[in-house]
Amino acid sequence: MDRTIIHVDMDAFYAAVEVRDNPELAGLPLIVGALPDERGVVATCSYEARSFGVRSGMSIKDAYRRCPQGVYMHPDIKKYAAVSDELHKIWGKYTDIVQYVSLDEGYLDISLSGKAFGGAKSIAREIKCRTLSEAGLTCSVGIGYSMMSAKLASEEKKPNGFFEIPDAKYLLELIGGRDVGIVYGIGKKTAEQLHNSGIHTVRDIIENESTVIRMFGKHGGQIAQLARGIDIREVTPYYDSAAKSLGREHTFQQDIADFDYLKSVLRLIAKELSTKIRLDGLYVKTITLKITYGNMKQITRSKSGNATNQASTIYSTAAALLDSIDKKPIRLVGISLSGFTESDSRQLSLEDMAKAESEKKKTALDSRLLDLQRKYGAGIIKTGSELEAEKRLSSAPTASNEKKEPI
């Protein structure tokens, strides 16, 4: 299946947060990191400071030599982490397949959910607008067909950028003549070795693939693939059962006001989550309902209770939370689980395992149903009864080819 991936990266992140919070710094060369009389390096600097040649990672002495008139300050990592949480919330509204790779950057796979939000361009624009209006910061957004192309797209027009790389052919035209270092996985050392062998550009890699493979073996093969624009890496949401939460959500193509129907979707989600945690041998204490209304207002409602791994409990808790909220048309429903505990020292018996595995297969069917809905719109299930939904699913010819989305 063709994929659509968005990469978001904040502009001059630490420096931009400091300028936001201290407006008198706007327009000045600001260097965040060590102070000039300390040992240490530049964490980042404003674009004004970059025009003096200052860069991340440069020793602060070097930076001071280039830009003595700069404003120097220490980073406040705690503050940036809090801002980062806010940003992740803004970006995470468009898909549950989202991978944050650092405080200021993330990948969103919107292949399935994109249509519900008017497509990739409109999501990208919305992310830029909301990042500015809600967090007071600018970001650069790239749309790609793979992770590498999305990241290169976001870098292409920095700062405050917006760019799309629709396919491998376009990518190659764009980067074919550039230095090999632009390819994902080629660091300083590898680049140097390539240069020494007369391989300078991305196109040189493609034209000298066998040399590259001879030099770097399997890694060389991967480099050549990436140079040709083939990047099969998947956006992989981070899930740490010990500390974090496990969530699954569903975005509708139209806003839904039928709460019975919404509950049938919650039932499917509850089943899928329950199967997943039981296979992992986990119980969960806190169940959170996530809702995005048609006007993009997002709310969450949580309830904590005895640790459970049962779909019926997860469902009834989420359904009760749904009953407690404003009855307005809804764009997205989701459930997330947190507060995990290990199965109270009780190992799953072989029989339990077999049961969970067979449920997993059934859940795969249920989740294909969700995927189908994503693809064809909520209309595929009219009344929302799960039974009817499954009947329809089993008569839907495209179902068996649907790719299951990673949790």
14 binds ligand DCP (CB under 6 A): yes
Query: Of 73 and 369, which CB lies nearer to ligand DCP in the complex structure?
Result: 73
Binding mask 10-49 for Ca ion (x = CB under 5 A): x--x------------------------------------
Pick the closer one to ligand DCP by CB: 8 or 311: 8
Asked if 10 is part of the footprint of ligand DCP (rule: CB under 6 A), the reply reads yes
Q: How many C-beta atoms surround the C-beta of residue 13 within 10 A?
A: 22
With CB under 5 to 8 Å by kind, the binding choice for 159 among Ca ion, ligand DCP, none is ligand DCP
Q: Rounded distance, CA 84 to CA 345, Å?
A: 36
Q: Which residue of 20, 28, 36, 56 would you call a contact of ligand DCP, by CB under 6 A?
A: 56
Residue 9 is a binding residue for Ca ion (CB under 5 A): yes
Residue from 24, 37, 57, 350 binding ligand DCP (CB under 6 A): 57
Which partner, Ca ion, ligand DCP, none, binds residue 56 by CB below 5 to 8 Å per kind? ligand DCP
Burial of 289 (0-12, 13-18, 19+ CB in 10 A): buried
Of 66, 121, 159, 197, which lies in the binding site for ligand DCP, with binding defined by CB under 6 A? 159
Name which position in 18, 48, 96, 105 contacts Ca ion (CB under 5 A): 105
Beta carbon of residue 7, minimum distance to ligand DCP (angstroms, whole number)? 11
Report residue 378 as tokens.
């909520």
Determine, following the binding rule CB under 5 A, whether residue 104 of this chain makes contact with Ca ion.
Answer: yes
367 neighbors 346 (Cβ within 8 angstroms): no
- What is the enclosing helix (H) or strand (E) of 372? helix 350-376
| Whether 162 contacts 29, CB under 8 Å | no
Residue 298's binding partner out of Ca ion, ligand DCP, none, with CB under 5 to 8 Å set by partner kind: none
Check 105, 272, 402, 405 and give the catalytic one: 105
Interface residue with ligand DCP among 13, 64, 283, 340 (CB under 6 A) is 13
Cα distance between residue 317 and residue 309, in whole Å: 12
With CB under 5 to 8 Å by kind, the binding choice for 402 among ligand DCP, Ca ion, none is: none
DSSP 335-359: EEEEEEEE-SS-PPPHHHHHHHHHH
* 330-342 sheet: strands from edge to edge: 246-256, 330-342, 282-293, 298-308
Range list of β-strands (E), 37-87:
42-45, 71-73
Q: Does residue 272 touch ligand DCP according to CB under 6 A? A: no
- Least separation in angstroms between CB 67 and ligand DCP: 16
Give the number of residues in contact with Ca ion, rule: CB under 5 A. 5
d(CA 256, CA 279) in angstroms, rounded, equals 32
Residue among 106 and 384 whose Cβ is closer to ligand DCP: 106
Nearer CB in complex with Ca ion: 13/162:
13
Is 105 considered catalytic here? yes
Could you give the count of Cα atoms lying within 13 Å of 53 in the half-sphere of its Cβ?
A: 9
- Alpha-carbon distance of 254 to 145, in angstroms, equals 25
Distance CA 233, CA 222 (A): 11
Q: Tell me if 12 contacts ligand DCP by CB under 6 A.
A: yes
Torsion over CA: 152, 158, 160, 163 (sign) = negative
Binding stretches for ligand DCP (CB under 6 A): 9-14, 43-44, 56-57, 104-105, 158-159
**Under the rule (CB under 5 A), what is the footprint of Ca ion?**
9-10, 13, 104-105
